[in-house]
Chains A and B, each alone.
Chain A
Amino acid sequence: EVQLVESGGGLVQPGRSLKLSCAASGFTFSNYYMAWVRQAPKKGLEWVATISTSGSRTYYPDSVKGRFTISRDNAKSSLYLQMNSLKSEDTATYYCARQSYEGFAYWGQGTLVTVSS
């Protein structure tokens, strides 16, 4: 059974940093692209980042480019999101998702990040 478990969320002040983690199991992690998708309170879904199988290619929307960094450790079946210079508009539940030609096929339960002073 595919499982994705996010961790690392919490309350952080504007301008500070936070690193999210996602532990994957139930599939060969190194064979899949992975992504982070977020959802602000009472809002829709927003794609945040995607990383290739080896980690050599990463993709971001303009809203987080230069501030967020997606990475992975295939030996640990883990995905990460380093978030710097956080803003209030980054407040959201962050989901880890397995991405492939089948879209975002599996999602974690999400971890809430609140950016507030």
Chain B
Amino acid sequence: DVVMTQTPPSLSVAIGQSVSISCKSSQSLVYSDGKTYLHWLLQSPGRSPKRLIYQVSNLGSGVPDRFSGTGSQKDFTLKISRVEAEDLGVYYCAQTTHFPNTFGAGTKLELK
């Protein structure tokens, strides 16, 4: 199974600050079609998860452009520029390149 390792486990930030979250996979996430099925989700407190970014760097519909994703092969990063209060919660990376699909353990973004 592909293990997804997210760091850090938690982040304490001030509103307006920029932050980055790392996600590393134990195997390459490049599929046979050449695409990389690495996605980012946010679970706000008490809510269902919400997809933010798909295929490494594509913003989901309605997602603010202060979110950005980069990376390739086994090493990926989510960056949030100018954090806002609504961005607080737990961020997960997920891979759907391989079965079983797997998630990172999450990174909790909290207010400083």
Contacts and interface: CB of A to CB of B under 8 A. Distances in A.
Interface of A: 35, 37, 44-47, 50, 59-62, 95, 99, 101-110
B41 interface: yes
Given A45-B43, A45-B94, 10 more contacts: A37-B49, A45-B92, A46-B103, A50-B99, A60-B100, A101-B37, A103-B39, A105-B60, A107-B50, A107-B51
Interface residues on B, range: 20 to 34
A50 B2 CA distance: 17
24 contacts: A44-B90, A44-B105, A45-B41, A45-B94, A45-B106, A46-B103, A47-B94, A47-B100, A47-B102, A47-B103, A50-B99, A50-B101, A59-B99, A60-B100, A61-B1, A101-B35, A102-B60, A103-B51, A103-B55, A104-B41, A104-B49, A104-B94, A105-B54, A105-B60
A103 B101 CA distance: 10
A102 B48 contact: no
A91 B39 CA distance: 26
B101 A47 contact: yes
B96 interface: yes
Interface of B: 1, 35, 37, 39, 41, 43, 48-51, 54-55, 58, 60, 90, 92, 94, 96, 99-106
Nearest to B103: A45
A57 to B, nearest CB: 10
A108 B39 CA distance: 18
Contacts of B51: 102-107
A31 B42 CA distance: 25
A99 B104 CA distance: 18
A44 B48 contact: no
B100 A44 contact: no
